[in-house]
Structure 1
Amino acid sequence: MSFRPLGHQIVSVKPIPVPAPGRGIDLQVKVTAPQAGQKLPVIVFSHGNAWSMDGYGSLVDRWAAAGFIVVQPTHLDSHRNAIGWDDPRFPTIWRVRIADLHAVLDNLGDILAQAHLETRADRESIAVVGHSWGAQTAGAVLGARVLDADGVPGEDFSHSAVSAGALIAATGSGDALTPFAAENLAFMRPDFSSMSTPALVVAGGRDQSQLSTRGPEWFTDAYHLSPAPKSLLTLTEAEHTMGGIAGDRVAETTDEDPARVALVADAISAYLRAALGLDDAEWTALGAGTEDGDGTWSIAGK
């Protein structure tokens, strides 16, 4: 797969307020889009723990250059809100995160209007994407649920406006949590059996979570344990940040690789175009490339 250069001019607008009653801290989003073009599909992106709408520029800029409008909320767990794991609000943040995505989707028309994009967006082509904790958040909007202590699936948080998604380094099954995670992060018990919305799962072959007793295959559960149609992109040498998708040279990027970041970004945009019924040429070409590739990545589907 050849990576497109960032030749299309893009523009970002921030902060845009979004109504979120009872949240305690105002919900704000950043919108990034190409300067030109019509019928632009929309990605709502959920960041990983502690990040904000200002992170993940390498992904977001490539998606916008590829013709997507990208909406990035700042969740409560962002460092800028100073809510740590010992904060009494932390155990319920996973629910607030999901509510944030619902608020964005429910108020998308107003958000697009404030970004002067209301006449250029394709409101019938909406996807959600997330990384790490954001992947679990996005997964809930795609139909995944959280199991309680007795293994009973919880509330259905799916949203009818969403037609496809992509989960990057998504939390695996809860039976593999470390004692610390099991005691303090009870929401990390996803049930993927109800996640029926088409989605691409992106996993790193060297992603070893400190919260799981299993190896990197833990991050493929969202693919293996969910109903079709699903696709799985595995990057053989990737760790949790997939080469640095959250930001270049940030402390948590232990496998810095700009080409890998470009692959993740372009693979997701290609998949979403196909899943949204817009254009499947790039995704078909990427799949064909796995047959004669160099072994650094692979794609599976069901």
Structure 2
Amino acid sequence: MSLRLSFAALAALLAAACGQTDLAPAPSQATAQASATASAPRPIPATPTQVELSAPDGRKIDVTVWQAPDERGVIVFSHGYSGAPAAYERLLARWVEHGFTVVAPLHVDSTRHPDRARYDPPGAFSTRIADLAVARGFIKATRPGKPIVAAGHSFGSLMSYIQAGALTVAGPQRDPDVRAVIALSSAGDLPGVVLPGAYAALDVPLLSITGDMDLVPGFVSDWRAHRTAFDGSPRGDKTLIIFEGGDHRLIGNADEQDFDLIVRATRDFLSAHALGDAAARGRLNRLDAPSGVSIERR
């Protein structure tokens, strides 16, 4: 079987298994959260703007930009397979409040992309790589010198790993300007796509967030597949947070207590490893795991 056919089968399976784009909590959980936090102030999401960029092949890339009022750094964000940037605004807004502009392409595999039917799964993979390279070029041209962090959910996490040095069938794609990675429920091991020893060169700081129910039926049957990058990358500034009962949609359906921990951990990670904030690094390294959560460091 050719790499392309193998790759197509794997990506098609991802499309079937990971195609849930609605990251909102289930109605009963949402009601409970609303009751528990009715008096708490809610963050006001930044109003995003849309930027149209051009890919090397002439394809137009729709990019959503959440501009931080007091910009200190920039996050290039890759959504999950068939998802869309807007589905993650609950968390992205908190990063923007923290001074990090978010730049998020709409990939061609999104159910919201008008040309989705024109691309097969291997095409979707290769255009994602191009989308993110163009987005980083846009960041460097419009915000020269600002630190860049790669972040993503599910398939988008794999794209973030690739930008920071992970080796896949696409070959080396590392951007030395990517200072750190935030991986939210990774895409798993992806045999045939992620090569043996893929994470040996992933030597930037990494924050990986998953749960012990982070499964993809028919594809990821063991949640531990989401920790491979953490375990297989060089030691130093690697943090793994595991939520008991957390599933593949944890970022969208986390209750307020878990979501607060995610916000605090990611913001301290951003400050520590994009801005060199020693106090934030200390808080991240001392972060306590509440009941139902485990934190590993290496």
Question: What TM-score do you get using the length of structure 1 for normalisation?
Answer: 0.76
Deviation at 1:62, TM superposition (A): 0.5
Deviation at 1:124, TM superposition (A): 3.8
Amino acid at match of 1:275: H
Which runs of at least 4 in structure 1 moved beyond 6 Å after TM superposition?
A: none
Deviation at 1:95, TM superposition (A): 1.6
Deviation at 1:266, TM superposition (A): 2.9
Q: Deviations over 1:275-294 (max 9, x none)?
A: 1243243443344242xx43
| 1: CA distance, partners of 2:77 / 2:295 | 22
| 2: CA distance, partners of 1:209 / 1:78 | 18
Higher normalized helix content (fraction of residues): 2
Match of 2:88? Answer: 56
Identify if the C-alpha distance between structure 1 residues 22 and 238 changes in structure 2 by more than 3 Å, giving closer, same or farther: same
| 2: CA distance, partners of 1:256 / 1:300 | 20
Q: Does 1:278 align with 2:294?
A: no
| 2: CA distance, partners of 1:51 / 1:173 | 20
The size of the alignment, in residue pairs, is 257
Amino acid at match of 1:32: W
Match of 1:267? Answer: 265
Alignment of 1:21-32 (within 5 A): 21-22=56-57, 24=59, 26-32=60-66
Percent sequence identity over aligned pairs: 25
Amino acid at match of 1:157: Q
Amino acid at match of 1:61: A
| 2: CA distance, partners of 1:88 / 1:62 | 33
| 2: CA distance, partners of 1:64 / 1:280 | 21
Deviation at 1:103, TM superposition (A): 0.5
Alignment of 1:1-302 (within 5 A): 11-22=46-57, 24=59, 26-35=60-69, 37=70, 40-81=72-113, 89-110=120-141, 112=142, 118=143, 123-147=145-169, 154-175=170-191, 186-187=192-193, 191-212=198-219, 214-229=221-236, 230-244=238-252, 255-290=253-288, 293-302=289-298
The 3-state SS of whatever aligns with 2:248 is: coil
| 2: CA distance, partners of 1:88 / 1:239 | 29
Contact residue 20 and residue 100 of structure 1 kept, 8 A: yes
Deviation at 1:162, TM superposition (A): 0.8
Contact residue 46 and residue 134 of structure 1 kept, 8 A: yes
Contact residue 16 and residue 30 of structure 1 kept, 8 A: yes
Contact residue 165 and residue 272 of structure 1 kept, 8 A: no
Deviation at 1:42, TM superposition (A): 0.7
Identify if the C-alpha distance between structure 1 residues 97 and 211 changes in structure 2 by more than 3 Å, giving closer, same or farther: farther
| 2: CA distance, partners of 1:10 / 1:279 | 25
Identify if the C-alpha distance between structure 1 residues 211 and 94 changes in structure 2 by more than 3 Å, giving closer, same or farther: farther
Deviation at 1:76, TM superposition (A): 0.7
| Structure 1 segments unaligned to the other structure (5+ residues) | 113-117, 148-153, 176-185, 245-254
Contact residue 241 and residue 293 of structure 2 kept, 8 A: yes
Q: Deviations over 1:25-82 (max 9, x none)?
A: x1021111333x25x1111110011122322010110001111111111111111226
| 2: CA distance, partners of 1:159 / 1:5 | 38
| 2: CA distance, partners of 1:134 / 1:161 | 18
Contact residue 167 and residue 199 of structure 1 kept, 8 A: yes
| 1: CA distance, partners of 2:54 / 2:118 | 24
| 2: CA distance, partners of 1:23 / 1:77 | 18
Contact residue 143 and residue 194 of structure 1 kept, 8 A: yes
Contact residue 210 and residue 243 of structure 2 kept, 8 A: yes
| Structure 2 segments unaligned to the other structure (5+ residues) | 1-39
Q: RMSD over aligned Cα, in angstroms?
A: 2.6
The 3-state SS of whatever aligns with 1:169 is: strand
Deviation at 1:145, TM superposition (A): 1.4
